[in-house]
Structure 1
Amino acid sequence: MNDEEKNMYNDEDLRLLQLLGEAAGEQPSEEETEKAWKQFQQRHQRRQNNRYMWTSIAAAVLCLIALSLPFVWKQINAHSIELYAALDVPSETTIVEAGDSLILSTPPEQTTEVRLSDGTRIVLGANSRLKYPRTFAMHLPRKVRLSGEARFEVAHDADRPFSVQSGEMHTEVLGTVFDVNAYPGSHAQVILYEGRVRIGHKHKQLDIHPGQQAVLEENKHLKVTNVDLKQAGSWTEGLFDYNNMTLEEVMKHIGTWYNVSIIAQSDPFLKRRIHFRFPRKVSLHEVVTALNDLGIARITVNRQALQVEKP
């Protein structure tokens, strides 16, 4: 709009146009705006009469709103949450030296096994990292650090407790079998299969027993619940196995395995419980197709992320 055209309207009219255009949502592109303005010019030549002036203003506003409708709809549906954020991980299993320790890292869609110097067996999950000593010192506690997911089968040694530091959670045992899940941005949790473990966070400690799970919640409270061990341990057998689990939790597991970000509408439908069993050695596309077939959600791939919406 040039100066001559602006003179057709007073300052209040122009302010109204601008406010209404902004209220319509995200602004249209320059090309769309220019096209709309030319159409407006062709239909509404200069008119001095107030009646025609206000008719022209209304037409211009309608043009802007019409062009902006897709953006308004997009804005309305922009209330989304990120269930999982993809990590910067290697494309293959790597072992890096770090002084007297080793750092083992895994890529997406892959697990790997390692045995420590004391005989402890560890299955490291996808997109995970484990830091451990080359050799555990005699008569000193055995300590490792984990980011991600791992199954621990700890060699018994009454003189040397074994501990796993995973974020803010500390797990200590003498000899037992347990899983730790502590991906960045998620609630750290421990599931016990055999023996007994002690879970600690700062100055709080508690023991859990086989068939129990401890989760470090947002309020830093350690919550203990009973779990189905067969279902919980299915990841070490190459399966997605979810029986009566919320869609939100299932999608987080999908994200951690394929290392793909998960964006979802913030909506109660995420709390719906589903039953889903599928092999992990299939493509992400096949898993998404199977989940969509359940009819609970509409999942699409959008810019290297999964978008989860109501069906």
Structure 2
Amino acid sequence: MTENQRLNFLFNRQLQYLNSTEEKEEFILLMADPINEEQVKQLLNSYWEEFDENEFSPAVFLFGDGEKMLSKIQSENIYPLPKARRKPKLWIGIAAALAIMLFGASLFYLKQNAGLADTKAYIKPGSAGATLKLANGKTIKLSAAVNGELANEAGVTITKTTNGQLVYEIKGTTSPDQINTLSTSNGETYQVRLPDGSLVWLNSASSLSYSTALVQSGKRSVKLLGEAYFEIAKDTKHPFIVKTGNQEVEVLGTHFNVNAYDNESQAKTTLLEGSVKIKNKANQKIISPGEQATVTGDDISVEKVNTGYAVDWKNGVFRFTDKTLEAGMLEVARWYNVQVIYKRPELKNEILGGRISKYASITQVLKKMAITGAFRFTVKDREIIVE
């Protein structure tokens, strides 16, 4: 979900009075960001066009003296509002109420300056994109590729769909020696549907290698570097194996997340549905839904967790709850494609909290992280300095 889509989603939920406390905070930040000004105007115009006064629920907005509120808001140079084309008094009240949302958002936005020394820098968040390397050595930049058939090799047709998903379909005799690699850079994420129908969401700075036939020696097997979320199609005859640097995850049909970046000391597998076996050279463990297996060297530990935290990245959210600053900044660095410099190494162990949209501006994300006041950020070009 892009930042524009996220704002549309939260706007519509706000109109239905459905936003949670955290969603309201995210909504306010997105509404207040000057980058979204044109989209906010369009949303207000669109709402007015579709508005039915007979179905209007006063619970959605704050009400008061509409004309006075509108005058006050306009005097503060808040976004101009569309002209009334129906009942003037009713529109003034609604426009004022909507504008108050923006007015409050603007005040909130201005109060969030603590913790960020340079607010002029703008670094775009990541987006859908990846590079596909075929068995013959050809590479395809998927963000630039047109929708439709991309390749036909070894009996497999590879297609890019209109929603940006990569789809493999077996249409002939396949060879297990034909290896493809799907890789994302910093600031990219992508989704692929494998030949067996399994779905994989690949996080930033990650890669997934697999045979175009997928099945090798009676098993469906892929190799992962980085992080991915899997929804595996059930096939009792062919177990699905995810290989990372020092572990294997074996399943028959299930939903799970694997985090195994080379620059992190632990590999974590979080199970949402089904059953998986985690094994390395020294140990193996079977985990159940709601559990997370952590591999550190030869050791495998298992604990109950909130599985939603592990897959927030797939749903377009940074979840900082109980994470160290170092762990949080690793995620930020991969998504926004920036370098992080610590003036004081001990700050890496500061504990964070909260959540925010991955499609928020870098300034919003850093302000959220620095809300405790224990450290501050300075943004220079593509460097984030922590002090």
TM-score normalized with structure 2 length? 0.52
Map of 1:49 onto structure 2: none
Contact persistence 2:186–2:333 (CA under 8 A): no
Contact persistence 2:353–2:369 (CA under 8 A): no
Map of 2:193 onto structure 1: 115
- In 1, the alpha carbon distance for the partners of 2:186 and 2:372 equals 25
Map of 1:262 onto structure 2: 340
Contact persistence 1:109–1:281 (CA under 8 A): no
Q: Which has the higher strand share?
A: 1
Map of 1:97 onto structure 2: 134
Map of 1:163 onto structure 2: 241
Choose from 332, 349, 365 the match for 1:271: 349
Choose from 283, 286, 308 the match for 1:207: 286
Choose from 268, 272, 279 the match for 1:189: 268
Contact persistence 1:109–1:126 (CA under 8 A): yes
- In 2, the alpha carbon distance for the partners of 1:213 and 1:257 equals 24
Is 1:130 aligned to 2:208, yes or no? yes
Report the alpha carbon displacement of residue 244 of structure 1 after superposing the two structures with TM. 3.0
Are residues 212 and 259 of structure 1, via their aligned partners in 2, closer, same or farther at CA, if it must alter by over 3 Å? Answer: farther
- In 2, the alpha carbon distance for the partners of 1:109 and 1:294 equals 27
- In 2, the alpha carbon distance for the partners of 1:244 and 1:185 equals 20
Contact persistence 2:256–2:270 (CA under 8 A): yes
Cα RMSD after superposing both structures? 2.2
- In 1, the alpha carbon distance for the partners of 2:134 and 2:276 equals 29
Using the TM superposition, name which of 186-195 and 94-103 deviates more. 94-103
Is 1:223 aligned to 2:260, yes or no? no
Are residues 295 and 164 of structure 1, via their aligned partners in 2, closer, same or farther at CA, if it must alter by over 3 Å? Answer: same
Report the alpha carbon displacement of residue 92 of structure 1 after superposing the two structures with TM. 4.3
Report the alpha carbon displacement of residue 191 of structure 1 after superposing the two structures with TM. 0.8
Report the alpha carbon displacement of residue 94 of structure 1 after superposing the two structures with TM. 1.3
Choose from 307, 321, 329 the match for 1:243: 321
Structure 2: runs of 5 or more not aligned = 1-127, 137-177
What SS does structure 2 have at the residue aligned with 1:273? coil
Aligned length: 217
Report the alpha carbon displacement of residue 263 of structure 1 after superposing the two structures with TM. 3.5
- In 2, the alpha carbon distance for the partners of 1:167 and 1:137 equals 20
- In 2, the alpha carbon distance for the partners of 1:293 and 1:194 equals 35
- In 2, the alpha carbon distance for the partners of 1:283 and 1:121 equals 29
Report the alpha carbon displacement of residue 302 of structure 1 after superposing the two structures with TM. 5.6
TM-score normalized with structure 1 length? 0.64
Report the alpha carbon displacement of residue 111 of structure 1 after superposing the two structures with TM. 1.9
- In 1, the alpha carbon distance for the partners of 2:295 and 2:215 equals 30
Which protein shows a greater Rg?
1
Map of 2:361 onto structure 1: 283
What SS does structure 1 have at the residue aligned with 2:318? strand
Contact persistence 2:260–2:267 (CA under 8 A): yes
- In 2, the alpha carbon distance for the partners of 1:189 and 1:259 equals 23
What SS does structure 1 have at the residue aligned with 2:370? helix
Is 1:299 aligned to 2:336, yes or no? no
Contact persistence 2:291–2:304 (CA under 8 A): yes
What SS does structure 1 have at the residue aligned with 2:365? helix
- In 2, the alpha carbon distance for the partners of 1:194 and 1:300 equals 41
* Identity within the alignment, %: 35
- In 2, the alpha carbon distance for the partners of 1:139 and 1:274 equals 45
Report the alpha carbon displacement of residue 294 of structure 1 after superposing the two structures with TM. 3.4
Contact persistence 2:251–2:276 (CA under 8 A): yes
